[in-house]
Amino acid sequence: MKARSTALQGGLALAGLVAAYVTWQRPKDSFKSESVVVVDASKNSLERVRYEDGLRSVTVEKKDRLMVGLAYLPGKRPVIDAGETLVAIDGGADAGVDGGTLLATSRPAEPPPDRTVFANDRADTLWAKLTPFEGTRALGTLSKEKLDEVGLTNSERKLELQVAGVTRRFTISRPVSGLIGSYAQDEKSGEVFLISSSLFNELDPNSQLLVDRRLHLFKQTEFDAFTVTAGVQTAAFVQTGADIPQTAKVARAATPDKAEELVKNWHEKIWNRLIVTEVLSKDELPKAGAPDVQVRIEYTLKAQPKGWLELAFDPKGGTWARSENTPSWVSVHQGSEEIIIEGIKLTAPQ
C-alpha cells in the first residue's frame, strides 16, 4: 500500500508539472486558439524572408520567381591559410611492416562564395508557411530570467520578414536542451512567441535545401523532338509515346519508324542520372574558367522551342552543365563525362 501511495503521489506531481508548463506556454489572453498570427502576411504582400544563424544568412525573395541567397555575415567569412596542414592518417597493415601512422598534407576546403540562385518547390512551401507567419503560442513579454531560460538572451539568430515594404525583425532562440520548438521575440514590441522548429530547419543557411537543382522545369513527356550538336556535327531525333515509359521510343528524324534503343538509353541518363552538385550564380564562372561546350541539346514541341542543355568537360575542372533553367553553370557528378562522350558519338555521320 505504501509503495502504491508513493507512486500515486509521484504521478500527480508529474501531471502538475506538465500542466504548469503547458499553461505557461499558452497565449496570454486566450486558451482556445491553437495558433496565433505573429505577422499577418499574404502571398502577395510578403516580399522577402531573411534568416541569420550568427555566421551565415539565407534570403528568399520574390522577383520574377523566388530567388534564394546564401551568404556569410559581414566579417564572418572564414579565412583559409594558403599553406598546407599536416594531418595524421592510420596507415593500416599496407603502410609497412607494422602499419602505424602516416603524415600527409591537406588544405582545408575554401568556403563557398556568396550566391543568389533560383529557389525550388520547397521554397514555395516555406513561403506558404509564412503567409501568415503563425506561432503555436503567444507568451507576451517575459522576464529576463524567462528569456534566459528559453535561449533568447544574446541570441545571434535573427528572422526578418518584409511585408508590403515594412520589415518585422525577430530574435530567434538558441537550441535549449529540454525545450521543444523555438522562441521568437519581436524586437520592437518585446513579445515572445513559440514557433515550430521545422521552420528554422528549412531556413538553415548551410543546408542548401531551398536551391533549385533542376535542369528543366518542363517534363520529359513535354517535347517531341531534340537535336544533339557536337562541334560541327548535328543529329536530329524524335520522341513518341512518351506518356507511357514502356512505350516511349526515340528515333532519328530521318527514320522515325526505326527506334534506337541506344539513343533512348543515353537520353534517359541525361534526364534521370545527371546529379547537380553545385549551382553557380548568374555570370559566375567555374574556378578553372569558362567551360568549353562539347555537347548541346535543343528540345522542341510541335516545332516550337522548349528548352536546351549544354554539357562541358574539363579534366581539371570536372563536368559542367547549363540550361534554360539555370542562372549560370552547374557542376554535375563525377563520371558524367561519359555522357558527353556518348553524345559526341551520336552525332557522327551514319
Sequential DSSP letters for 286-320:
-TT-S--EEEEEEEEETTEEEEEEEEEEETTTEEE
Mean pLDDT of 249-269: 96
Q: Is the pLDDT of residue 94 over 70?
A: no
Mean pLDDT of 142-166: 97
Mean pLDDT of 123-134: 95
CA 227, CA 22: separation in Å to the nearest integer?
Answer: 64
CA 117, CA 60: separation in Å to the nearest integer?
Answer: 10
Please answer whether residues 344 and 331 qualify as being in contact, where contact means their C-beta atoms are separated by less than 8 angstroms.
Answer: no
| Angle subtended at Cα 246 by Cα 245 and Cα 250, rounded to the nearest 5 degrees | 70
State residue 53's pLDDT score.
96
State residue 315's pLDDT score.
83
| Residue 26 DSSP SS3 | coil
Q: How confident is the model at residue 20 (pLDDT cuts 50, 70, 90)?
A: very low
Task: Give the lowest-confidence range in 31-40, 145-154, 220-229.
Answer: 31-40
Mean pLDDT of 185-204: 93
> Taking the CA of residue 321 as centre, how many other CA atoms within 13 Å lie in the half-sphere pointing to its CB?
27
Tens digits of per-residue pLDDT, 301-346?
Answer: 999 999 999 999 988 889 999 999 999 999 999 889 999 999 999 9
Q: How confident is the model at residue 100 (pLDDT cuts 50, 70, 90)?
A: low
Q: Is the pLDDT of residue 105 over 70?
A: no
271 phi, psi to nearest 5 deg: -80, -35
Q: How confident is the model at residue 247 (pLDDT cuts 50, 70, 90)?
A: confident
Please answer whether residues 102 and 89 qualify as being in contact, where contact means their C-beta atoms are separated by less than 8 angstroms.
Answer: yes
Output the average pLDDT for the chain.
Answer: 87
Please answer whether residues 319 and 340 qualify as being in contact, where contact means their C-beta atoms are separated by less than 8 angstroms.
Answer: yes
Higher confidence at residue 82 or residue 304? Answer: 304
Mean pLDDT of 214-218: 97
State how far the alpha carbon of 201 is from the alpha carbons of 17, 96, 204, 212, in Å. Answer: 29, 47, 5, 17
Task: Give the orientation angle of helix 337-346 with respect to helix 261-272, to 10 degrees.
Answer: 150
Please answer whether residues 53 and 71 qualify as being in contact, where contact means their C-beta atoms are separated by less than 8 angstroms.
Answer: no
Q: How confident is the model at residue 17 (pLDDT cuts 50, 70, 90)?
A: very low
Instruction: Tell which residue, 261, 271, 154, 143, has the closest CA to residue 218.
Output: 271
Q: Is the pLDDT of residue 132 over 90?
A: yes
CA 243, CA 283: separation in Å to the nearest integer?
Answer: 36
State residue 103's pLDDT score.
56
State residue 12's pLDDT score.
45
Beta strand 46-52 pairing with 157-163: antiparallel
State residue 33's pLDDT score.
47
Mean pLDDT of 26-50: 77
| Residue 82 DSSP SS3 | coil
Show the cell assigned to 260: 534506337
Name residue 21's amino acid: Y
The answer to whether the bond into 175 is cis (omega within 30° of 0) is no
State residue 84's pLDDT score.
57
CA 6, CA 25: separation in Å to the nearest integer?
Answer: 29
Instruction: Tell which residue, 307, 118, 320, has the closest CA to residue 212.
Output: 118
Instruction: Tell which residue, 152, 193, 198, has the closest CA to residue 176.
Output: 152
Q: Is the pLDDT of residue 14 over 80?
A: no
- DSSP assignment, residue 246? G
State residue 89's pLDDT score.
52
Q: What percent of the chain has pLDDT over 70?
A: 83
Q: H or E element: which one contains 1?
A: none
Q: How confident is the model at residue 239 (pLDDT cuts 50, 70, 90)?
A: very high
Beta strand 101-106 pairing with 115-118: unpaired
